[in-house]
Amino acid sequence: MALQQTDLGDIETLLLLIIAIVLVAIILYISVRLIAGKKETDFGYIIRLVLIALIIVILVAVVIGAIVGSVGDFPFISTAASQLVPVLVYVAIVYLLKYLLIPEKAEPTNWQASIWIAVITLFLIYLINAVAIELSFPPLIDAGI
């Protein structure tokens, strides 16, 4: 990922980070609107969207790349780690969505909504990453997965 290849003081890296956060926040908004039907957009909800988008960008872009890259030095666990880390990141995203974004009612449908919102969000993130690679932009995710 471009964030791992340069320092964070670089203006292009910061711009890439801001664009990624905004895109993920928009994707989250669309996903929540499609699955949970939440239509209200008060200031607190927008702040939660941006906060969760920031956490997701850090989890997906930085943590997956760092963990898979560092474990890649050990060939006997490299394959298992490269397959396990995205699953753990997905589970973390489901919990984030359940407790920070979906309404606070303790209903079983909230878990189902969280799971589907996470699936749609990660699918669109990987789709945007593929489009960025095809258009010769720096990829959001470059973890060797």
89/108: higher pLDDT: 89
Q: Is the pLDDT of residue 2 over 50?
A: no
Between CA 109 and CA 96 the distance in angstroms is: 15
Residue type (1 letter), 92: A
State if pTM tops 0.75.
no
Between CA 66 and CA 72 the distance in angstroms is: 10
| Domain interval for residue 22 | 10-134
pLDDT score for 144 = 45
For residue 141, being part of any structural domain is answered with: no
For residue 144, being part of any structural domain is answered with: no
Q: Domain count for the chain, please give it.
A: 1
For residue 2, being part of any structural domain is answered with: no
Residue-wise pLDDT tens digits, 120-142: 888 887 887 788 778 776 666 65
Residue-wise pLDDT tens digits, 65-84: 677 667 666 666 666 666 77
